[in-house]
Structure 1
Amino acid sequence: MQKNVFCATLLFSILLIVPAFAEVSSVDPVVLAAQKQRIDVIKAVSPSVVAIFGAEGAGGGSGVLVTPDGYALTNFHVVSGAGNFMKCGLNDGKLYDAVIVSIDPTGDVALIKLLGRTDFPVAKLGNSDKVQVGDWAYAMGNPFLLATDFQPTITYGIVSGVHRYQYPAGTFLEYTDCIQVDSSINPGNSGGPLFNDRGELIGINGRGSFEKRGRVNSGAGYAISINQIKHFWDHLKSGRIVDHASLGATVTTSLDSTIDVAEILEESDAYRKGLRLGDEIVSFAGRPIRSVNQFKNILGIYPAGWTLPLVYRRDEKKNTIYVRLQALHTTAELQEQAGQKKKPPAKPARPGEEKPPQIPNPHAKPEPAPPEQYKHLYVPKTGFTNYYFNQQQQDRLLKALNSTSNFSDLKGTWTLTGKQGDGSEFTLTLADKGVGFESGNDIFLQSLETGNYVDEPPGTGGLLAALHHFRLLLSGQSERFTDFYYLGSERLDGKNELVDVLVATQTGTISRWYFNKADLSLRGFDFYLTENSEVCSIRFEQFQTLNGQKFPGELDVLYGNRPVMKLKIERLKLEPSDTLKK
C-alpha cells in the first residue's frame, strides 16, 4: 500500500514538473536574447564605475571613468565635502587614490583623477541628443554606500523624459537639458553613470528628486546630459571653478506665442551685436526656440565665454549674429560655492586696547594629509579648484608655441614692416615703453608707461595695446601679465574649428589666445580694452619664416564683426635695445 502511494506521489510530481520544463524551454528566443544583452552590457560597463569615498571614509558617492589615465566624472555635491584627495574603488576590488581636478557648481559636475595607473577601464561616450523617451536606461553606482566590495548596484528602467529643466529655486544648482528616468536613483548614486542599452554613457546621475521632496527616490530621477559635459570637458580639465553662460538678456512668451527679448543689458555682447527689446528669438546655437524653458535648456549647456549663433526676427526680417556669452555668476559667487569665500577683516583694536585672543574651534577637523607620492598634484590658488592642472595645460600650449618659434631671448624692440590691404606701407614698432604704428602721414602711439590703454588707431578696439600683449606672449613674458591661465576649449568665432584658449589680463585689458586643437598652431587672439568693451579680433594667416622665426604673414584685424585692417608682414627686425621709434 505504501509503495503504491509513493509511486502515485512520484507520478503526480513528475506531471507537475514536466509542464514547467516545457514552459521554460518554450521561452521566446527574443526574450532570452534581450536578457543576454542586458547581462553583457552590465558586464562590459561595470569596470568603469567608481565608488567614491572621502579621505577619512565619511560620505561618498559614485563616478565613472572616461579616460585611460584616470579622469572620472562625478557630481559637485559628491566631492564638495570629500577633501582635495579621496579614495576610489573599482569593481576589480582595488582601492585607488584620487585628486580633485575641477568643479562646476552650477551644473553639479566635478572632475577627479584616479592615480596609480594609465590603463583604467573607461566608458564609451554616447550622444545624449539621440536619447528618446522609452529608451532603456541603466543607472549604476553605490547607493547608500552599500558596495563595500566596490561592485556597483544596477537599476534598470526607461527614459521618462528628455530636455528637462530644473530651475535653481533656493540653490546654486541648475539642471538644464537633463534626462529624466524611472531607474532608481538614490543617495550614493549621485555622480554615477547612466548608460543606454548599447553600453554608451549618456548622462551623469544627479539628484533623485528635487527641493521639497528631498533625496528619496520618487520614480523621477535626473541625469546631466553627456553632451553638456562634452561642451565643458576642456574647461573641467583646466582645474578652474567653471561657470555657465548668460546671454545678458532674458526672454518671455508674447501674446502671439513667440519668444521675445524681455530685458537686455546694454553692456552685453548681444546688445553690441544688435539685439534689442522685443526682438523675437528664432533659434539659438542652431536649435529652434519655441518656449522659454527650451531657451534656458539650450543656454545652460554652454560655458561662459563661448561664441554661438543667434537668429532673431525684427519687422519680419531675420538677422543672424554671433554672440559671445558672458558669465552667469560673479567670481565671488563661484568662490563662495567652492568654499573660498574671503573672510571680512577683523575689527582693529581701539587705542590702548589689547587684541582679543583667538580661540580655536575644538570641533574643527584638519584637512587629512595627502598621500606623500601624490601631494605635488594639488596646488591651491584662489579662483581655482586645483591650479596644478591649469599649469599643465599652460605648459602644453606654450611648449607648442615655442616649438615653432622661440622669441624668449628676443625681448627687445620689434619692428614689423609691410603693406596694408590697400597697398600702403606701414611700420609697427613694439617695445617696452610703447607701441607705435606709422602709415603715410598717420602716426599712432600707445604709451605703456602710464598704464592707460586707449583705442589706437581709433576704431580698432585697441590694436596697439593688443600687439603689446602679442609681444609679451611670444617673447615668453607671461609673468608680466596680471593674470594668465588656461580657460578650456571653444569653437573659434562660433564656427567649426575647435581651439584651446589661454587668457591673459593686464591693467584691466584682456586677451584670449586661440590654439588649433588638432595641431596646436596659434590661430589668433581677441583683445578687450575693458571687460565690456567691443572686441578687437586679430587672426593669423599664411605663416612664413622671417629673421629665422616662424611668424604670421598676415594679420587680419576686425573691430566687432567689421574688418578694419589687413597687415601683410614683409620684414621683421628684432633688436636687443628698448628704444621706441619716434
Structure 2
Amino acid sequence: MIWKRTRLKKSSISSQTGKTRGVLSQTSVPLVVLFLSLAGPTIVGQLHAETDGNAGREDSTETGQGVHVSGQEVISVGEAIPEAVLARERERIEIIRRVSPCVVAIFSLSGQAGGSGVLISPEGYALTNFHVAAPCGIALKCGLPDGNLYDAITVGWDPVGDVALIKLLGREDFPFAVLGDSDQVRVGDEVFVMGNPFMLATDLQPTVTHGIISGVHRYQHPADTILEYTDCLQTDASINPGNSGGPMFDNAGRLIGINGRASFDRRGRINVGVGFAIAINQIKRFLGHLLAGRIVDHASLGFRVGSNTQGTPVVTSILETSDAYRRGLRLDDEIVRFADRPILEPNDLKNVLGTFPPGWRVPLVFRRGNVESEIMVRLLPLHSEAELLEKTERISANLALPPEHPPSENPADLSHPKDVFELPPSLRPYYEPRRGFANFYFNRLRQDHILRDWAVKQKLQNARGPWVFAGRLSSGGPFQLEIGDDRCILRLGTSEVVWNATRPTSSEELAPPEPQGMFLAIYLWRQLAVGGGSAFPDLYCWGQQPYLGRGPMVDVLAAGFGVSECRWFFHEGLLLGLELEYDRHQDPWEVRFESFETVGEVTVPRQISVRIGELPIADFQVETFVAGTSR
C-alpha cells in the first residue's frame, strides 16, 4: 500500500529515490537586496556580483546610505525592519511548514499526469476536484511530502460541485488539515495555495503560492449543469493546471477552500491572477454524502425568481408540486432571505442554492405586501438520478488530465487520454460497484457504523417480540399501540384498528387521511431495529443533514418498501425520527421520537408524534413499554 520514494520520473511512477538539486546558471545576477522599502535591520557584509565577464556590466558602488547603480540610489539599507514584520514572516513560514504534510500529489496509475488534494482525517480521507479524480478512475496513486507514495481509492463524487473524496490506504495516522469557516473570509484576507502544478513536485514537496482573497460569493457557470462553482472564493494567488484539487489555507493554516478553476493567458494555460476555490462550508454540507460513497446531486427549489420593476427579486413561476408551494409561497412574492443570507437580486438566490444538497430543509423568508413570513423549504434535486448519472459519465469521459509541463507559446493539444486500468488486486476489497454510487463499499461502512451505534445505545434488537406501547394521547384519551412482525394494532378506548403488513399497499392507500401510512412508518421502525440491515436488501446511507432544518446533524439511512421509501434519522446512537415518502409530490409521513428513557435493557422514547407537513396527526405520551415473546 505504501511506496517509499523521494523523486518522480517525468512520465511514470518509480520506486527509485533521489534528492532534488537546485541548478544555477553560469551567470549570477547582482545580489541586490529586495523588499526593503520598509525599515529593516542593518545589513552587515558586502554585496557581491559575479559574472562570466564584464560585458554589459554597470558600475555599482556602496555608501553608508545605500546601494547605487550608475550613481542612482535604489535601496536604502541603513534602517531596521520592524520586528512585527519579521515576526509575521516567521509565522507565515511556520504555518506553511505545519500544513505542508497534508498536501497530496495525485497521480493516475500511469503516473503521466494528475492533480492535487488535501487530507482531512487521520484515516486518510482526502478532498480533491471531481475533474481531477474522475479521469484517474477508481484507483489512484498519491504522494505526500514524507516522500512516500500511497495506494488510494475513490470514495464519493460531487460532479455538479466539482468535488471528490478519495482515501489513502496504508496508515491510520495521516497528517490532516483543520477545516476553517469560509463564511468568515473577507476580501483582502491573506491566503496560501498549495499543490502540484505541472507536476513540478518531483520530490513530492508542494508548490506554495501566496496572495489575497480578491472576491467572495463568486459564481462560475457550469458545463451543462455539471462543474458549477457557486458562492466560491476568488484569489490572485497563482492557480495553474495541476493545482486543481489542492488546498487553500487562510493565514492561520485553516482549510477554507479547494482550488479548482482559474483564468489563463490566451497563449497557454498560464495563470493570470484570477483563480477560484470551492468554499469549504459548501463542501461540509456534502461531506456526509461523499463519505457514504455516493454520486451526489445539488439542490433546486421548484420555483424561479426574476426582478420586478424596482429590481426586487420576486417569484416569477412556481411548481404546485414543490414543497415551497405547499408551505405557502406564491407568484410575485418577494424573496427576502434564503438560508439566513439576504437575497438582493435573483443571482444571489442561485448562488446560495448551489451550495446545498437536495433533501435538506432550509429557511426561506418572503414578503407579501407588508407581511414577512418564514418557511422551511425541503430542497428538490437538480437532476433525476438517470440524468445525473448520464451527465457524470459523459463529462468524466471527456475530462483531460492536467499537463506535465507548463505549455509553450504555441502549445499542442494538452489533453491526455483517460487512463484505463484494471483495479489492482490490493484495492479490490475496497471497491464495490453499484448504480448511483462512486463506491458502495464505503456506503456499507457507514451503514454498519450507524446501526452498530444504534444497537449499542438503544438495544432494541433485543426486543424481538411484539412491542406494546401504552399511555395517553395528547388529547387526553388512552391508547395502546402494538407493533409486531406482520401487523400493527392501535387501540383507542374500546375501538381497535388493525393494519396487516403483508397486504400490498398503494400510494393512494398510504395518503392521508387514512392511517395506513402511519402504521407502515411505525412498522418499518421496528423492522430495522430487530432485523438490522438484512431486513432491507436495498438499504443505503443517504448522507447527513440538519434534523428538521435547524436541529443537530443526523446520519440518514434509507430503503425502499413497496411503493414507498423510508428514511431514518440518527444522532449519537439515538433514532430521532423517520419519514415515509409515498409520493414525491406530497408531504411525507413523519414520526418523531423524544424524551428517551431506559426500560429494562432497552431505551425507548416517551413521546411519539406523527404528522404530515404542518398537520399534526397523533401525539402519543408513552407511560409503559413491553416487548412480548417472539413468536
> TM-score band (shorter)?
0.7 to 0.9
AA at the equivalent of 2:569: Y
Structure 1 CA distance for aligned equivalents of residues 156 and 517 of structure 2: 34
Matched, 1:429 2:472: no
Structure 1 CA distance for aligned equivalents of residues 177 and 376 of structure 2: 34
Matched, 1:288 2:342: yes
Is contact 2:187–2:213 with CA below 8 Å preserved after alignment? yes
Query: CA-to-partner distance for each residue in 1:346-377, whole Å, 9 max, x for gaps?
Result: xxxxxxxxxxxxxxxxx9976333252x4312
1:28 equivalent in structure 2: 81
1:473 equivalent in structure 2: 528
Match of 1:511 among 563, 566, 584: 566
CA 1:188/1:14 → structure 2, altered by over 3 Å: closer, same or farther?
closer
Superposed displacement of residue 480, structure 1: 3.7
2:470 equivalent in structure 1: 417
Structure 1 CA distance for aligned equivalents of residues 484 and 497 of structure 2: 14
Query: CA-to-partner distance for each residue in 1:440-484, whole Å, 9 max, x for gaps?
Result: 465444433342143477266821111121121111243343631
Is contact 2:109–2:419 with CA below 8 Å preserved after alignment? no
1:78 equivalent in structure 2: 132
Name which of structure 1's ranges 229-238 and 406-415 shifts more when overlaid on structure 2: 406-415
Match of 1:16 among 62, 70, 88: 62
Match of 2:588 among 524, 530, 535: 535
AA at the equivalent of 2:584: E
Query: CA-to-partner distance for each residue in 1:411-437, whole Å, 9 max, x for gaps?
Result: 554333332112212232333443332
AA at the equivalent of 2:521: A
Matched, 1:502 2:502: no
**Corresponding residue SS for 1:277:** coil
Name which of structure 1's ranges 205-214 and 89-98 shifts more when overlaid on structure 2: 205-214
The alignment of Structure 1 onto Structure 2 pairs a total of residues equal to 544
Matched, 1:270 2:328: no
Match of 2:314 among 238, 246, 260: 260
2:38 equivalent in structure 1: none
AA at the equivalent of 2:89: Q
Matched, 1:299 2:353: yes
Is contact 1:407–1:476 with CA below 8 Å preserved after alignment? no
Structure 1 CA distance for aligned equivalents of residues 77 and 144 of structure 2: 36
Structure 2 CA distance for aligned equivalents of residues 201 and 369 of structure 1: 31
AA at the equivalent of 2:353: L
Structure 2 CA distance for aligned equivalents of residues 145 and 381 of structure 1: 33
Query: CA-to-partner distance for each residue in 1:309-364, whole Å, 9 max, x for gaps?
Result: 111111221111111111111111232244399xxxxxxxxxxxxxxxxxxxxx99
**Corresponding residue SS for 1:390:** helix
Q: How does 1:382-401 map to 2 (within 5 A)?
A: 382-401=435-454
AA at the equivalent of 1:318: E
AA at the equivalent of 1:283: R
Name which of structure 1's ranges 167-176 and 216-225 shifts more when overlaid on structure 2: 167-176
Superposed displacement of residue 110, structure 1: 0.6
Is contact 1:482–1:507 with CA below 8 Å preserved after alignment? no
AA at the equivalent of 1:427: Q
Superposed displacement of residue 307, structure 1: 0.8
Match of 1:544 among 597, 601, 624: 597
Q: How does 1:88-107 map to 2 (within 5 A)?
A: 88-107=142-161
Is contact 1:208–1:216 with CA below 8 Å preserved after alignment? no
AA at the equivalent of 2:358: A
CA 1:371/1:44 → structure 2, altered by over 3 Å: closer, same or farther?
farther
Q: RMSD in angstroms over aligned alpha carbons?
A: 2.8
AA at the equivalent of 1:307: R
Which runs of 5 or more structure 1 residues have no equivalent in the other structure?
1-9, 342-362
Is contact 2:110–2:419 with CA below 8 Å preserved after alignment? no
Structure 1 CA distance for aligned equivalents of residues 391 and 538 of structure 2: 22
1:567 equivalent in structure 2: 620
Matched, 1:63 2:106: no
Match of 2:303 among 246, 249, 255: 249
TM-score, with length taken from structure 1: 0.87
2:96 equivalent in structure 1: 42
Superposed displacement of residue 496, structure 1: 3.5
Match of 1:449 among 469, 482, 502: 502
Is contact 2:462–2:530 with CA below 8 Å preserved after alignment? yes
Moved over 6 A (4+): 210-214
Query: CA-to-partner distance for each residue in 1:510-551, whole Å, 9 max, x for gaps?
Result: 2221112xx322211222222222122221122234465322
Structure 2 CA distance for aligned equivalents of residues 402 and 493 of structure 1: 23
Structure 2 CA distance for aligned equivalents of residues 230 and 79 of structure 1: 19
Structure 2 CA distance for aligned equivalents of residues 559 and 459 of structure 1: 12
2:72 equivalent in structure 1: none
AA at the equivalent of 1:151: Q
Match of 2:573 among 520, 526, 530: 520
Match of 1:187 among 221, 232, 241: 241
Superposed displacement of residue 204, structure 1: 0.4
1:159 equivalent in structure 2: 213
Structure 2 CA distance for aligned equivalents of residues 286 and 460 of structure 1: 36
Matched, 1:231 2:285: yes
Is contact 1:157–1:182 with CA below 8 Å preserved after alignment? yes
2:9 equivalent in structure 1: none
Query: CA-to-partner distance for each residue in 1:10-47, whole Å, 9 max, x for gaps?
Result: 9xx99627655894452522443443333222222211
CA 1:50/1:556 → structure 2, altered by over 3 Å: closer, same or farther?
same
Superposed displacement of residue 69, structure 1: 1.6
Structure 2 CA distance for aligned equivalents of residues 171 and 534 of structure 1: 27
Is contact 2:129–2:260 with CA below 8 Å preserved after alignment? yes
Structure 1 CA distance for aligned equivalents of residues 331 and 61 of structure 2: 81
Is contact 1:103–1:111 with CA below 8 Å preserved after alignment? yes
Q: How does 1:305-320 map to 2 (within 5 A)?
A: 305-320=359-374
CA 1:457/1:138 → structure 2, altered by over 3 Å: closer, same or farther?
closer
1:146 equivalent in structure 2: 200
Structure 1 CA distance for aligned equivalents of residues 551 and 625 of structure 2: 32
Name which of structure 1's ranges 434-443 and 547-556 shifts more when overlaid on structure 2: 434-443
**Corresponding residue SS for 1:458:** coil
CA 1:171/1:423 → structure 2, altered by over 3 Å: closer, same or farther?
closer
Query: CA-to-partner distance for each residue in 1:138-159, whole Å, 9 max, x for gaps?
Result: 2111111121111111122221
Matched, 1:200 2:254: yes
CA 1:461/1:108 → structure 2, altered by over 3 Å: closer, same or farther?
farther
AA at the equivalent of 1:447: N
Name which of structure 1's ranges 238-247 and 535-544 shifts more when overlaid on structure 2: 535-544
1:493 equivalent in structure 2: 548
Structure 2 CA distance for aligned equivalents of residues 213 and 365 of structure 1: 27
CA 1:157/1:17 → structure 2, altered by over 3 Å: closer, same or farther?
same
AA at the equivalent of 2:487: G
Matched, 1:483 2:529: no
AA at the equivalent of 1:110: A
Structure 2 CA distance for aligned equivalents of residues 128 and 405 of structure 1: 37
Q: How does 1:162-173 map to 2 (within 5 A)?
A: 162-170=216-224, 172-173=226-227
TM-score, with length taken from structure 2: 0.80
